[in-house]
A and B are shown apart, each in its own frame.
Chain A
Amino acid sequence: MTEAVVLVPLFPALGVLLNLIFSRRMSEAAVGIMACAAVGASFLSAVVAVFGLSNMEAGHRAVETILYQWIGSGKFSVDVGFLLDPLSSVMILVVTGVAFLIHVYSIGYMHGDPGVRRFFLYMNLFVFAMLLLVLGNSYLILFVGWEGVGLCSYLLIGFWYVKDSAANAGQKAFVVNRIGDFGFLLGMLLIVFNFGTLSFTKVFAEAPHVFNSGDFMITLITLLMFLGATGKSAQLPLYIWLPDAMEGPTPVSALIHAATMVTAGVYMICRSHVLYDLAPASLVVVATVGCLTAFLAGTIALVQNDIKRVLAYSTVSQLGYMMLAAGVGAYTAAIFHLMTHAFFKALLFLGAGSVIHALHEEQDIRNMGGLRKIMPVTYTTFLVASLAIAGIPPLAGFMSKDEILYSTFNAGMGGWNFILWFLGIFTAFMTAFYMFRLVFKTFHGECRLDPERKKHAHESPPVVTIPLSALAFLSAVGGFLGIPIFLKYNVMHNWIGPVFAKVAHHGEEAAHAAHSLFAELSLMGISVVVATAGILLALVIILFRPGIAEGIRQNYSSLYNLFLNKWWVDEMYNAVVIRPLWALSGFFWTEFDGKGIDGTLHGIANGAQGSGGWLSRFQTGFIQNYALTMAIGVAVIMILALF
């Protein structure tokens, strides 16, 4: 049954192909249904394959399917193949499952858009690329998918290309991701050099023999790959593209933020855990960057007024948690949080989309309010997701976030882990606050809509609300797959644990060894108290005493502006990277090619011009200059070589 894994990426690919060929002749509805069917069939295949996997003996659950040899040059060869193990199985279920719901929702959301055929084409392609990424059996296949999702995100973020901001956001996402890719590619090349292969099984089997823990080379490799992960998973310093990515249609934001793309970096690090376990220094970097990202993005989310922007920064923040988990060696917790986050973040975005749609493209929460009566289903599901992300037991987000914080607390990093834990718990407080600030401002209080919009506001149709309800169900109960305390019944640990167990080290091992019920319960208690406090604070400030917010804004205006302007990171990039590069290009063009070579020689050329005056009719570059450049080049080479 595990053979069905081949079908998992095949169906979306087929969807792309059929869309390319037939979509022009199909009705809008038929195109949407076909795209949904492709992803749905992919999900069913994934279920079958994973069921087959679960029938195998625990600890030996890994099936590698080789399709064909891609490159075979001498000793070096790369096969195209899939690796199905508990880790990739969770990923394909989450990707196809959540993507399916988002596709269904899109039928309703994109209804009437002239580009709907193109939209579903890109969506299917996106899912296909992501499945390639998580199923690939080597770094090269992973990289192909990695570039593929980068490309699709670029196409989808810029989907409404007519808007300049959308086109620019698409380009920004692509370019920033390319910076990360550069690091990842270098890491890959170093892996080839040190192992002679890119196959996961071979690299991981050999790694402990090739390197000692803490070797410079393995640290370098893991750090370079982490640079790639910061691009894809929107971590410091490359997170800047994600908040702009909400320029795309809302289902795209949901797909990027929840199921595909941003989870790639987290997945890649968990997949490479054997390498990271050999590089403790890199793990500290991963944990620290993750934690700082969570904190920084949390502060920005506190003050944003665009409903999608708040959610975007909350994604960055939650991704930071996942990185933190990976960094402290709690890979299972990272994947667990990835899964629960996929549920509630998809739900939040789709809910936001439902609101935006009902209000005719209004996105500013200052102009909303009181929507709970108009849109009861959207409100209820949104509330469930918010409770989940805020970490209220027993919803999904509580279970996974708590495990991350617990693992961080127990990670043996000599005190540093306590600082990370404190930042993490503080971020949890901020999370609860900004999420409920969003909920209260959008759905509670008096209605601040302009009358024209209010008249037309309505609950969304079933094609939208049914996916919302399904995701709300998952957000509510998904956490029970990984109940803390009772490790024996923890499905998540029993399923994925073996993948990470072989080379278990400080984080996870420590978490198990020092498993004190008292410690865990008290940490859990702190989480709950903090989350509740955040919600209550939002309740007071937003609903009961709006004056407080104004007071804070005025008394701490510098801090408020810092958060509102996103710590001026974009401006920093502009000044430090973009403008110098642009100037350098201009320099090479006009100065180096134009003046540097042509120009310094113009004097000499002018002399030659007299004798060949007719040459001046040529509009550009003088031939003598070119010849002289060549002569000088020859002379320089001669001098270099002979002396």
Chain B
Amino acid sequence: MLNILIPDFRVIAPELLLTATAMIIILWEMINRTRSHAVSANLALVGSVAALAATVASWNLNVSTFGDSLVLDPYASFFKVIFLAGLILSVSLSMKYIQESGVRYHAEYYALMVLATVGMMIMAMGRELITIFIGLELLSMPLYILAGFFRKEIRSNEAGFKYFVLGSFATGIMLFGMSYIYGVSGSTHLQVIARTLYRHPSAYADKALLLGLLLVIVGFGFKISVVPFHQWTPDVYEGAPTPVTAFMSAGPKAAGLAALIRILVEGLPRMAQEWELIVAILSVLTMTVGNLTALRQTNIKRMLAYSSIAHVGYILIAVVASVGGRADLGFSAVMFYLLSYTFMNIGAFGIIVFMKREGIANENLDDFTGLSWRSPGAAIAMLVFLFSLAGIPPTAGFAAKLSVFFAAIQGEYYWLAIIGILNSAVAAYYYLRIVVLMYMKEPEKELGKATSSPLLWTGISLALVGTLYFGILPGGFLEKARIAVSILLKV
């Protein structure tokens, strides 16, 4: 227990960097009063790239600190890369958007985004329920504010408020569940919980433990929008500023799954039979409702909200698949899927940001009509992102879906794989509808003039490169994820 006194700062180097970045952004703004967006955004970018470098540099570490409540292992590092990629991409999309919205309190915007990322990283590293919870709160609070960031827009207000109320509700449910787990095992530390249960196997029969676990799953289920806890998603996605929606759609979901998987693997390893069927049912519900509802949406942000619900459904297939013998395949598929999804989904949102002209959002599907005439480059990029979301090779989405379905087959969950494949066949329709609009119809109405933004295009290009890279050469990262999971499973 000596290491309580001397924390190992290597473990939290990227988090420290990011926290410092957030402070500097706010201080700079206070001191200079320049009202310059470029400074805040660039500071956020520099900080997150530095944090990414620090994360990659300590990839092979497997150490813990702060009384073993935070652990840095390759599993956590993999997720941190996802969060930081999400942060870098979202910040790239933000500058033009926030600038044109005319809000004057932009420094807070970037600082909150950076702080939310710190929260995610703590969630991925937490080996103790309270720590994970603190990470979750550090993530959620900035998100509530960011969702309602445009104070004068009623939709944005509505989004922030709804998200806050329902999020608090979910948080309550989760805490309630955690208290049950603590009550049965006498600890909040995952490994101590596991050890206690190992010594007293009779505790597994205690329904209170199962109750606790299920409530925790529900709590996380809300955060990652699992049906029937999904209803906030379309409203919030539609109302929040587009770059915030992009940000929310990737990182926070990955963080929720990162913490959930660690709890399931390190804390309650022998409960799989208990939650397997329930998560499987949630998975089927989630992808089916998500996809079928997305078919009829006319607002692209709402459509992508339902699509993101459906993607969580696919990811849950892989979580269930991990029960069937090859846990490494299942969980690594989850990680690779989240990585791919981060790039393709934020990329698609980047194009939506691009569509905003002269203060008009142009978020309806019709606004994409004939985009290939007006902006061939944007249309090509959108095409790749949509193909990837639909799961068409050679894009990241295809490799990710393949790894999920492969894990399901290996785990002998054939029925889940079949439902998943049927679902992705349905999903292809609504993604391709936009392709048809972009390429096969003449533009109908004039949109405003596009203002060019080098940073926005850098972000979209990065997302594009990632989407294609993970599709053409998925091997490297899949293997990294598998090794990370193997190390986690051995603990």
Chain A residues packing against B (C-beta within 8 Å)? 69-74, 76-77, 143-144, 147-148, 151, 155, 158, 161-162, 166-167, 170-171, 174-175, 178-179, 181-182, 185-186, 189-190, 192-193, 581, 584-586, 588-589, 592-593, 597, 617-621, 623, 625-627, 629-630, 632-634, 637-638, 640-642
Contact, CB under 8 Å: B228 / A629 = yes
Give the distance in Å from the alpha carbon of A620 to the alpha carbon of B406 in the complex: 40
Is B296's beta carbon under 8 Å from chain A? Answer: yes
Cβ of A584: which chain B residues have Cβ within 8 Å of it?
292
Q: A151-B392, A182-B421, A589-B292 are in contact. Are A638 and B211 (CB under 8 A)?
A: yes
Within B218-250, the residues touching A (CB, 8 Å) are 218, 222, 228-229, 231-232, 235
Closest 10 CB pairs of A and B: A161-B440, A633-B228, A588-B292, A585-B295, A626-B231, A167-B440, A73-B478, A144-B393, A72-B475, A589-B296
Q: 1/0 per residue B141-169: CB within 8 Å of A? A: 00000000000001000100110011001
Partner of B296 from the list A76, A181, A585 (CB cut-off 8 Å) is A585
Measured CB to CB, the closest approach of chain A to B287, in angstroms, equals 12
Is B266's beta carbon under 8 Å from chain A? Answer: no
Q: Is the interface of A mostly helix, strand, loop or mixed?
A: helix
| Of B39-47, B126-134, B352-360, B424-432, the one touching chain A | B424-432
Measured CB to CB, the closest approach of chain A to B12, in angstroms, equals 31
Q: 1/0 per residue B409-441: CB within 8 Å of A? A: 110000001100110011011001000100111
Q: 1/0 per residue B386-406: CB within 8 Å of A? A: 000000111000010011011
Cβ of A642: which chain B residues have Cβ within 8 Å of it?
207, 210-211
Contact, CB under 8 Å: B329 / A73 = yes
Contact, CB under 8 Å: B162 / A623 = yes
Partner of A74 from the list B165, B222, B232, B482 (CB cut-off 8 Å) is B482
Q: A71-B399, A633-B228 are in contact. Are A182 and B422 (CB under 8 A)?
A: yes
Q: A179-B425, A641-B278 are in contact. Are A161 and B439 (CB under 8 A)?
A: yes
Q: A73-B332, A630-B222 are in contact. Are A161 and B441 (CB under 8 A)?
A: yes
Contact, CB under 8 Å: B406 / A182 = no
Cβ of A585: which chain B residues have Cβ within 8 Å of it?
292-293, 295-296
CB-defined A-B contacts under 8 Å, sample of 18: A71-B402, A73-B329, A74-B329, A158-B439, A167-B436, A170-B436, A192-B406, A192-B409, A585-B295, A589-B295, A618-B158, A619-B158, A625-B231, A627-B169, A637-B214, A640-B281, A641-B214, A642-B210
Cβ of A77: which chain B residues have Cβ within 8 Å of it?
475
Contact, CB under 8 Å: A634 / B231 = no
Within B180-207, the residues touching A (CB, 8 Å) are 207
Cβ of A640: which chain B residues have Cβ within 8 Å of it?
277-278, 281
Contact, CB under 8 Å: A76 / B406 = yes
Is B289's beta carbon under 8 Å from chain A? Answer: yes
Q: A618-B158, A623-B162 are in contact. Are A193 and B409 (CB under 8 A)?
A: yes
Cβ of B169: which chain A residues have Cβ within 8 Å of it?
627, 630
Given A74-B482, A175-B428, A618-B162, 16 other A-B residues pairs in contact with their CB atoms under 8 A = A73-B475, A73-B478, A74-B329, A147-B393, A167-B440, A171-B436, A174-B428, A182-B421, A185-B421, A192-B406, A593-B231, A597-B228, A627-B165, A629-B231, A634-B218, A638-B211
Give the distance in Å from the alpha carbon of A363 to the alpha carbon of B103 in the complex: 61
Cβ of B218: which chain A residues have Cβ within 8 Å of it?
630, 633-634, 637
Q: A626-B166, A637-B278, A642-B210 are in contact. Are A589 and B293 (CB under 8 A)?
A: yes
Cβ of B482: which chain A residues have Cβ within 8 Å of it?
73-74
Give the distance in Å from the alpha carbon of A632 to the alpha carbon of B215 in the complex: 13
Measured CB to CB, the closest approach of chain B to A193, in angstroms, equals 5
Is B334's beta carbon under 8 Å from chain A? Answer: no
Cβ of B421: which chain A residues have Cβ within 8 Å of it?
182, 185-186, 189
Is B8's beta carbon under 8 Å from chain A? Answer: no
Measured CB to CB, the closest approach of chain B to A592, in angstroms, equals 7
Is B100's beta carbon under 8 Å from chain A? Answer: no
Cβ of A593: which chain B residues have Cβ within 8 Å of it?
231, 289, 293
CB nearest to A162 among chain B residues: B442
Contact, CB under 8 Å: A627 / B166 = yes
Is B474's beta carbon under 8 Å from chain A? Answer: yes
Contact, CB under 8 Å: A72 / B479 = yes
Give the distance in Å from the alpha carbon of A604 to the alpha carbon of B62 in the complex: 52
CB nearest to A190 among chain B residues: B409
Is B4's beta carbon under 8 Å from chain A? Answer: no
CB nearest to A643 among chain B residues: B207
CB nearest to B481 among chain A residues: A73
CB nearest to A594 among chain B residues: B293
Contact, CB under 8 Å: B215 / A634 = yes
Cβ of A586: which chain B residues have Cβ within 8 Å of it?
296
Cβ of B154: which chain A residues have Cβ within 8 Å of it?
617
Give the distance in Å from the alpha carbon of A637 to the alpha carbon of B219 in the complex: 13
CB nearest to B173 among chain A residues: A634
Partner of A70 from the list B173, B295, B405, B473 (CB cut-off 8 Å) is B473
Give the distance in Å from the alpha carbon of A629 to the alpha carbon of B162 in the complex: 14
Contact, CB under 8 Å: A182 / B410 = no
Contact, CB under 8 Å: A70 / B474 = yes
Give the distance in Å from the alpha carbon of A155 to the alpha carbon of B383 in the complex: 12
Is B170's beta carbon under 8 Å from chain A? Answer: yes
Give the distance in Å from the alpha carbon of A69 to the alpha carbon of B232 in the complex: 42
Partner of A623 from the list B165, B214, B278, B295 (CB cut-off 8 Å) is B165
Give the distance in Å from the alpha carbon of A70 to the alpha carbon of B474 in the complex: 7
Give the distance in Å from the alpha carbon of A251 to the alpha carbon of B425 in the complex: 30
CB nearest to A24 among chain B residues: B376
Contact, CB under 8 Å: A189 / B165 = no
Cβ of A151: which chain B residues have Cβ within 8 Å of it?
392
Q: A144-B393, A626-B162 are in contact. Are A588 and B293 (CB under 8 A)?
A: yes
Partner of A69 from the list B165, B329, B425, B475 (CB cut-off 8 Å) is B475
CB nearest to B274 among chain A residues: A641
Is B15's beta carbon under 8 Å from chain A? Answer: no
Partner of A597 from the list B170, B222, B231, B426 (CB cut-off 8 Å) is B231
Cβ of B73: which chain A residues have Cβ within 8 Å of it?
none
Q: A148-B393, A186-B421, A641-B214 are in contact. Are A73 and B439 (CB under 8 A)?
A: no
Q: A641-B210, A641-B214 are in contact. Are A632 and B406 (CB under 8 A)?
A: no
Is B108's beta carbon under 8 Å from chain A? Answer: no
Is B328's beta carbon under 8 Å from chain A? Answer: yes
CB nearest to B326 among chain A residues: A74
Give the distance in Å from the alpha carbon of A170 to the alpha carbon of B436 in the complex: 9
Give the distance in Å from the alpha carbon of A73 to the alpha carbon of B442 in the complex: 45
Cβ of B166: which chain A residues have Cβ within 8 Å of it?
623, 626-627, 630
Cβ of B399: which chain A residues have Cβ within 8 Å of it?
71
Measured CB to CB, the closest approach of chain A to B246, in angstroms, equals 21
Give the distance in Å from the alpha carbon of A144 to the alpha carbon of B235 in the complex: 37
CB nearest to A79 among chain B residues: B475
Contact, CB under 8 Å: B428 / A178 = yes
Cβ of A620: which chain B residues have Cβ within 8 Å of it?
235
Measured CB to CB, the closest approach of chain B to A370, in angstroms, equals 38
CB nearest to B429 among chain A residues: A175
Query: Which of A589, A626, A638 has the most chain B CB atoms inside 10 A of its CB?
Result: A626
Contact, CB under 8 Å: B475 / A74 = no
Give the distance in Å from the alpha carbon of A567 to the alpha carbon of B154 in the complex: 56
Contact, CB under 8 Å: A626 / B232 = yes
Measured CB to CB, the closest approach of chain A to B411, in angstroms, equals 10
Give the distance in Å from the alpha carbon of A77 to the alpha carbon of B158 in the complex: 49
CB nearest to B380 among chain A residues: A20
CB nearest to A181 among chain B residues: B425
CB nearest to A158 among chain B residues: B440
Partner of B229 from the list A161, A619, A630 (CB cut-off 8 Å) is A630
Give the distance in Å from the alpha carbon of A629 to the alpha carbon of B429 in the complex: 29
Measured CB to CB, the closest approach of chain A to B323, in angstroms, equals 15
CB nearest to B328 among chain A residues: A74
Measured CB to CB, the closest approach of chain B to A331, in angstroms, equals 28
Measured CB to CB, the closest approach of chain B to A634, in angstroms, equals 5
CB nearest to B221 among chain A residues: A633
Partner of A630 from the list B214, B228, B289 (CB cut-off 8 Å) is B228
Contact, CB under 8 Å: A144 / B394 = yes
Contact, CB under 8 Å: B231 / A621 = yes
Give the distance in Å from the alpha carbon of A174 to the alpha carbon of B169 in the complex: 44
